[in-house]
Chains A and B, each alone.
Chain A
C-alpha cells in the first residue's frame, strides 16, 4: 500500500494521545488506591489532558488531508453498523469529549464525591470520566486497528496482532510521553510512568516482532492464476492497460525499492523499542531531557513503523498492475 502521511500522522498522534490518557488515568487510579502520591491535579491531569487533546486534534486535523471531501466528513458516521472507519469516526470525537471533560474536571478541581465504593474509595466525576475515557481509548484503538485488520485481502493486516500492536505501540508512546511530561509536572510519578512505558514498549517489541515474523512467512492467497483464472505455472503480465500510471498504481504501492523498505524496518525496530528503552531507563530518575528524547525517538520510530506497516501490505489488486508496455 502507499503510505499516506495523513494516515501515518493520524494513527500515531491519536495513539500517543490515547496512551497518554491511559497513563494519566492509570496514575490517578494508583493514587486513588494510595499506591502513588497524589500529583498536582491541575498541572498533571489538567495539562496532561490538554496535551492529549492537542495530539488528538492534530491527528484529526491530519486525517482531513486524507479525504477528498473533508467538508463532507460529517457523513462518515452514518455506517457504524458495518464500517470500522465509521465507528472510529464516532469514537474519536467521543473520546476527545471525555478527555476534554476529564481534563476540565481536574483543571477546575471538581471533585464532588458522587458515591463511595467498598474500601472507602470515593468516586468523583474524574473517576467516572476516567473510566469512560479508558473504555473509549481502548474502543478507539480497536476501531482504528480494525480498519486495517478487517481487510481480509491484506493478510499483513488481517490479524489480531494488528489490534494488539496498535494498543501496545499507542500505549508505549503515550506512557513515554507521560513520563517525559511528568518529569516537568509531577516528578514523583516519573519512575512509575517510565517503568510502565518500558514494560509496554517491551510488550510492543514482542508484539511487533511477532507480526514481523508472521508477515515474513505469509503465503499470498491470491496469485496471477486466481486473478485471471488461468491455470499455468508461468503467467507474466505484459500490459496493465495504460502506461502513465493510474490510481491503481499510485494508491497500492509504496514506490520504493526493497532496500528502502528494509532500511525503514531496521530504523523503526531500533527507534521504537531498544533506544527508547535505554533512554527511559536512564531517564527514570526524572531527567527530562532523556525522557523527551525517548519520546521523540520513539515517535519518530513510530512514524517509520506506520510507514512500513502500510508499505509492507501487499494488496492483491497489485497482481493486475505489474507491467507497462
Chain B
C-alpha cells in the first residue's frame, strides 16, 4: 500500500490531536502469560499508554496477544494488593478481615517464625509456587532453607508431558522443545487449546498453513487452534493412549517406520533379557566397557548383528542389528531387541480395538497412521549441513521426516497420561522425527540425559536443622534408590513426591499439599507459603473442602483451637480467593514494576537454533507498598542467614534482586549465574563468565533478550551430535557429552517394576504399593482406563468433563482484567446438541452437572464442535462472589462456575485414599472426571434470580486497595 507519507496533523483534521506530552518507549518482557514475549511499553507522562510487541524480539517478532495488549488493565486494576496485610486477631480465615502492617513487621514476623522452624525441623516450612518461571530462585531458597517441601505448579499442570517425553527422548514440548512447523508437511496436534509458546505457535501455524502444510487436530473439542485444522478428529478424553498405540501398531505392521533412525538413535535394537526367572529379566544385557560413574547411560549394551549373526556391542562400526526376532546369548540367555518387544506389545492394539475406546472410526485411525508414515517416508528433507555423530561418523546432510506433533494437557492431565505420552514420544521416534527438520526440535538446555542428572536426596537425613537440604528439591529419579523416602519406605516430602506412591513426580504434587498438611499425612507442618497460586479456587481440586481445610482447627490435643495449618502466608499481586485465607499477605508487584529473569537455570525462552534468555526491567515505579517476591525472598534469606545470601561472617551479600542476579554464581567462581548473556567483566562472554556489573544495562540495550545462535551443524540431531554435545559440555549446559539414545524401552521404569517384583538389590516398595508399581511401571507404553474411571460407575456417569482455557485468558491469572472479562464474563457447559436433547436440555437451560464427588449448577450451551461423550467449559472464568475486587453480583460468580467442585484430589484406594494422580508422575488427573447432566427441577428455577451453584459468602476488598470505578474512560482525553 503505502500512501504518500503525510504530516500527522493534516490527517488529524477531524480527529483530535493528542495533547503534547512526554512520550517514552521502554522495552521489557511480557508476563501476561507464560509465553514471555518481548514488549515495548509506551508511556505518556509516566503512565502506560500502549503496549505492543517488540519487532526485534526473537520470540514474538512484534506480534502480541489479547492478554499482552490488555496489560494496562492489569497494571491499573483495582484488584491489586497494595499493602502488606495480616489477618485480624480472631477473624476466621476466608473472611477477609485484614489490617495493614509495615514490611518491617511482615519481615520480622516471617524471620522469627521461619528462623525457629529452620532451627528445629525445616520440613515444617513448605513453599509452593503457582508459577514455575521463577523456580531457579524459589527452589534455591527452599533448598537453602533446608526444606524438601517445595514445588511449583508443574505437578498439577502438565508434569506428565515433561516426564513422559524427557524420560523417552530427553526433551519435551513446552519450553523444552516443539514442532518445527517451518519445515513440517504434516502437523498433528493432540489435545491442545492454547500453549505456553503461545504467540510463536500461532505465528508458525499460520505460516505452516499458508505454505500448504496439512494440519490435523485430535481433540474432543474443536476450538482455538483446532478450528483451523484441515481435519478434526474428535476423540473421547483420556483415550489418546489407545489411539497412539493403534497408530504405532499400524505403522509397524505396514513397515512405515524409519528403521535406520531407530537403529542408530534409539535403544530399539538393544537386547533385553527375556528370561522370566532371571533377576535381570527385563533389563538390557550389558557387556564390559570402560565407563565413569555418571548419570548418563554407558554404551555397554548389545545388538544382534545381522551381518555376523552374533551379539555385538551397540553401535559397533559396520554392524547392523536386527530389530525383530529372538536370540540366545552364548550363555543361553534368551534375548529380544527392544523393538521386538514393542511389536509384541502393540500386537493387540489394533485400530479396531482402539476405535471402540476412542470413538474414532477404524478407517480414520488407519488413515492417520498412513498419512504420518507416508509423509515421513516420502517427503524427506535433506539439508546440506555436515555434522558428526557421537560415534564419530560424519554426515554430509541433516535428514528430516517432516511430520510434527504437538500435545499438551489434553494428553497429560489424565492418570494414564505418562504412558500415553511415552506412546506419543515413541511414535514420533518411529517416524524418525526427533530433533530433525520438520519434526520435533529441542530447545536449550535440552536435550538432557535420560533421565536428567538432577537428583533429590534419597535419605531423610538430608534434612537437618539450620542446614541447606543436601540435594536438589526436585529431581529425576532413575531407580528406586533415588527415591526420597524414609527407611520404612514412607515419603519424606509433605506432598509425597518421589515416594513409592508417585516415584517419578518430578514436579511435585502441589495439589495434595494442603490436604496432606491438614490431615497430618505424612505429617503436619507449621508454615505454608504460597506464591501466586489460587489454591482455594481454580488451582485446587475439591475446592469447597480444601477451603474448609484451610480454615479447620484442632478440636483436641495441645493445639486445640489452633488452625491445622498454623501459619499461612500468601504472596500475590491481586486480591483472590486464596489471599482471603492468608494470615499474612505480601503484596507482589506487577510485571511492569520489577526486574525478572527468564533464566537458563529455569525455563528459558530458547529457540530451536540456540539458547535464549531474557529479562524484565521495570518500566513504571512500584505501586503502593508492593515488593517483588524476589526481593522478599532475598530479604528473608538474608535475615535467616541462609548461606547463599550472606558471607561466612553472616553479612548480607546482595543489596537487592538485580544485584543478586549479577553477582550470584552457582558455585563460587563457577561463572554460571541466572543470566547467560553478557557475562565476563566487560560483557564479552556468554553462558559462562565472571559477573558483569553492567549486565542489566546490556540486556536493556539489546531488547532485554540474549540469543545465542548455534552453528548450523549444532542445530539438529542434538541427542547424538558430537559437536553440539561437546559445545554444550564446554559451556556447562551439561556435564556429559555422551549420546542420548531414545528410550523406546524404558529401563528406568523396569527398575521400579523389578523392585516391585522383589528382584534385584535396590529398595523395595512397601507391600501395599507393590501391585501398583508392578502394574503401571511398564517399560513399554500400554493403555489403561484412568484411575478415576476404574472406581466410577460409567453407566451412572456417562460423560467425560474437561476444561480448556480460552486464548484471551490462558495463563493470564487475572480474570478481573476490565477488557478481557468483557470477552469471557462467565462460562457455560458445552454439550453436544444431540447429547443435550436426549436429556431434554435446551440451549441455554440451567442444568446440574454431577460427578460422584459433587455437583454444580450452570447453564448449558449446545455445540456441534464437541464429541458427544464429552462436556466441557472454559476454566477459571467462574469466580467466588466479590473475588478479584469484582462486585458480588458480577457475572463471573453469578453465572460463572468452576468445574473443580466436581473433581476430587483423592481417590479411594485399597489402602486408604490416594492422590487422584498419575501413579507414575503424580500428575493431577484433572480430565478424568466423569459426570452426568440433567435439567434443574422446575421448583428450583422458578424462584428469584438464577445463579450458579455452589455460591460462597461474598468477599470484600481489603484495606489499602483502590476502589473500583463503575466507569472507565482510560487515559484518553479528559472525559466530559
| Chain A–chain B contact at Cβ < 8 A | yes
* Cβ proximity bits A46-82 to B, threshold 8 Å, 1 near / 0 not: 0000000000000000000000000000000000000
Contact, CB under 8 Å: B863 / A238: yes
B825 interface residue per 8 A CB criterion:
yes
Contact, CB under 8 Å: A325 / B861: yes
Contact, CB under 8 Å: A242 / B863: no
Chain A residues with Cβ below 8 Å from B825 are 242-244
Contact, CB under 8 Å: A325 / B822: no
CA distance A12 to B494 in the complex (A): 77
Of all chain A residues, the one with the shortest Cβ separation from B874 is A325
Which A residues from 196 to 249 make CB contacts under 8 A with B? 234, 236, 238, 241-244
Chain B residues with Cβ below 8 Å from A244 are 822, 825, 891
Chain B residues with Cβ below 8 Å from A243 are 822-826, 891
B56 interface residue per 8 A CB criterion:
no
Find the residue from A238, A244, A325 having the highest chain B CB count within 10 A.
A325
* Cβ proximity bits B644-684 to A, threshold 8 Å, 1 near / 0 not: 00000000000000000000000000000000000000000
CA distance A325 to B828 in the complex (A): 7
Chain A residues with Cβ below 8 Å from B309 are none
Chain A residues with Cβ below 8 Å from B864 are 234, 236
Which B residues from 811 to 847 make CB contacts under 8 A with A? 822-826, 828, 830
In the assembled complex, how far is the CB of residue A74 from the closest CB belonging to chain B, in whole angstroms? 18
* Cβ proximity bits A17-54 to B, threshold 8 Å, 1 near / 0 not: 00000000000000000000000000000000000000
Contact, CB under 8 Å: B823 / A241: yes
CA distance A325 to B831 in the complex (A): 13
In the assembled complex, how far is the CB of residue A294 from the closest CB belonging to chain B, in whole angstroms? 43
Which B residues from 150 to 190 make CB contacts under 8 A with A? none
Which B residues from 921 to 940 make CB contacts under 8 A with A? none
In the assembled complex, how far is the CB of residue B826 from the closest CB belonging to chain A, in whole angstroms? 7
CA distance A242 to B830 in the complex (A): 17
Which A residues from 224 to 279 make CB contacts under 8 A with B? 234, 236, 238, 241-244
In the assembled complex, how far is the CB of residue B855 from the closest CB belonging to chain A, in whole angstroms? 22
In the assembled complex, how far is the CB of residue B552 from the closest CB belonging to chain A, in whole angstroms? 37
Chain B residues with Cβ below 8 Å from A238 are 861, 863, 865
CA distance A22 to B826 in the complex (A): 56
Contact, CB under 8 Å: A242 / B822: yes
CA distance A211 to B324 in the complex (A): 83
Which B residues from 904 to 961 make CB contacts under 8 A with A? none
Chain B residues with Cβ below 8 Å from A242 are 822-823, 825
CA distance A242 to B865 in the complex (A): 20
In the assembled complex, how far is the CB of residue A239 from the closest CB belonging to chain B, in whole angstroms? 8
CA distance A236 to B830 in the complex (A): 14
In the assembled complex, how far is the CB of residue A293 from the closest CB belonging to chain B, in whole angstroms? 41
Count chain B residues whose beta carbon lies closer than 8 angstroms to a beta carbon of A: 13
Count: A-B pairs, CB below 8 Å = 22
CA distance A243 to B825 in the complex (A): 6
In the assembled complex, how far is the CB of residue A315 from the closest CB belonging to chain B, in whole angstroms? 22
Chain B residues with Cβ below 8 Å from A241 are 823
In the assembled complex, how far is the CB of residue A322 from the closest CB belonging to chain B, in whole angstroms? 11
In the assembled complex, how far is the CB of residue B858 from the closest CB belonging to chain A, in whole angstroms? 12
In the assembled complex, how far is the CB of residue A240 from the closest CB belonging to chain B, in whole angstroms? 10
CA distance A325 to B806 in the complex (A): 11
Of all chain A residues, the one with the shortest Cβ separation from B877 is A243
Which A residues from 292 to 325 make CB contacts under 8 A with B? 325
In the assembled complex, how far is the CB of residue B816 from the closest CB belonging to chain A, in whole angstroms? 14
CA distance A325 to B826 in the complex (A): 8
In the assembled complex, how far is the CB of residue A273 from the closest CB belonging to chain B, in whole angstroms? 38
CA distance A325 to B843 in the complex (A): 11
In the assembled complex, how far is the CB of residue A312 from the closest CB belonging to chain B, in whole angstroms? 24
CA distance A241 to B826 in the complex (A): 13
In the assembled complex, how far is the CB of residue A237 from the closest CB belonging to chain B, in whole angstroms? 11
Chain B residues with Cβ below 8 Å from A236 are 862, 864
In the assembled complex, how far is the CB of residue A311 from the closest CB belonging to chain B, in whole angstroms? 22
In the assembled complex, how far is the CB of residue A61 from the closest CB belonging to chain B, in whole angstroms? 22
CA distance A175 to B491 in the complex (A): 95
In the assembled complex, how far is the CB of residue B636 from the closest CB belonging to chain A, in whole angstroms? 42
Chain A residues with Cβ below 8 Å from B861 are 238, 325
In the assembled complex, how far is the CB of residue A99 from the closest CB belonging to chain B, in whole angstroms? 36
* Cβ proximity bits B283-311 to A, threshold 8 Å, 1 near / 0 not: 00000000000000000000000000000
CA distance A78 to B638 in the complex (A): 74
In the assembled complex, how far is the CB of residue A126 from the closest CB belonging to chain B, in whole angstroms? 47
CA distance A243 to B824 in the complex (A): 7
Of all chain A residues, the one with the shortest Cβ separation from B890 is A244
CA distance A206 to B455 in the complex (A): 91
In the assembled complex, how far is the CB of residue A242 from the closest CB belonging to chain B, in whole angstroms? 5
CA distance A241 to B862 in the complex (A): 17
Find the residue from A238, A241, A242 having the highest chain B CB count within 10 A.
A238
Chain A residues with Cβ below 8 Å from B865 are 238
In the assembled complex, how far is the CB of residue A214 from the closest CB belonging to chain B, in whole angstroms? 32
Chain A residues with Cβ below 8 Å from B824 are 243
In the assembled complex, how far is the CB of residue B864 from the closest CB belonging to chain A, in whole angstroms? 7
Which A residues from 142 to 180 make CB contacts under 8 A with B? none
In the assembled complex, how far is the CB of residue A42 from the closest CB belonging to chain B, in whole angstroms? 48
CA distance A234 to B826 in the complex (A): 26
CA distance A236 to B864 in the complex (A): 9
Chain A residues with Cβ below 8 Å from B822 are 242-244
Which B residues from 779 to 833 make CB contacts under 8 A with A? 822-826, 828, 830
CA distance A199 to B822 in the complex (A): 54
Chain A residues with Cβ below 8 Å from B862 are 236
Chain A residues with Cβ below 8 Å from B891 are 243-244
In the assembled complex, how far is the CB of residue B146 from the closest CB belonging to chain A, in whole angstroms? 49
Chain A residues with Cβ below 8 Å from B828 are 325
In the assembled complex, how far is the CB of residue B946 from the closest CB belonging to chain A, in whole angstroms? 15
CA distance A118 to B828 in the complex (A): 80
In the assembled complex, how far is the CB of residue B815 from the closest CB belonging to chain A, in whole angstroms? 12
Chain B residues with Cβ below 8 Å from A234 are 864
In the assembled complex, how far is the CB of residue A135 from the closest CB belonging to chain B, in whole angstroms? 37
Chain A residues with Cβ below 8 Å from B830 are 325
CA distance A325 to B862 in the complex (A): 11
CA distance A241 to B807 in the complex (A): 13
In the assembled complex, how far is the CB of residue B837 from the closest CB belonging to chain A, in whole angstroms? 14
Of all chain A residues, the one with the shortest Cβ separation from B825 is A243
Of all chain B residues, the one with the shortest Cβ separation from A69 is B976
Of all chain A residues, the one with the shortest Cβ separation from B859 is A325
In the assembled complex, how far is the CB of residue A62 from the closest CB belonging to chain B, in whole angstroms? 23
CA distance A234 to B833 in the complex (A): 13
CA distance A244 to B824 in the complex (A): 9
In the assembled complex, how far is the CB of residue B328 from the closest CB belonging to chain A, in whole angstroms? 63
In the assembled complex, how far is the CB of residue A325 from the closest CB belonging to chain B, in whole angstroms? 5
In the assembled complex, how far is the CB of residue B324 from the closest CB belonging to chain A, in whole angstroms? 49
In the assembled complex, how far is the CB of residue B534 from the closest CB belonging to chain A, in whole angstroms? 22
Of all chain B residues, the one with the shortest Cβ separation from A236 is B864
Which B residues from 849 to 891 make CB contacts under 8 A with A? 861-865, 891
In the assembled complex, how far is the CB of residue A11 from the closest CB belonging to chain B, in whole angstroms? 29
Find the residue from A234, A236, A241, A243 having the highest chain B CB count within 10 A.
A243
Of all chain A residues, the one with the shortest Cβ separation from B828 is A325
Of all chain A residues, the one with the shortest Cβ separation from B861 is A325
Which A residues from 68 to 123 make CB contacts under 8 A with B? none
CA distance A313 to B822 in the complex (A): 28
Of all chain A residues, the one with the shortest Cβ separation from B976 is A69
Chain B residues with Cβ below 8 Å from A325 are 828, 830, 861
CA distance A243 to B877 in the complex (A): 12
In the assembled complex, how far is the CB of residue A8 from the closest CB belonging to chain B, in whole angstroms? 28
Chain A residues with Cβ below 8 Å from B823 are 241-243
In the assembled complex, how far is the CB of residue B836 from the closest CB belonging to chain A, in whole angstroms? 13
Chain A residues with Cβ below 8 Å from B826 are 243
5 A-B residue contacts at CB 8 Å? A234-B864, A238-B861, A242-B823, A242-B825, A244-B825
State the B residues within 8 Å of A (CB): 822-826, 828, 830, 861-865, 891
Closest 9 CB pairs of A and B: A243-B825, A242-B822, A244-B825, A325-B861, A325-B828, A244-B822, A242-B823, A243-B826, A243-B891
A236-B864, A242-B823, A243-B823 given. 8 additional CB < 8 A pairs? Answer: A236-B862, A238-B865, A241-B823, A242-B822, A243-B826, A243-B891, A325-B830, A325-B861
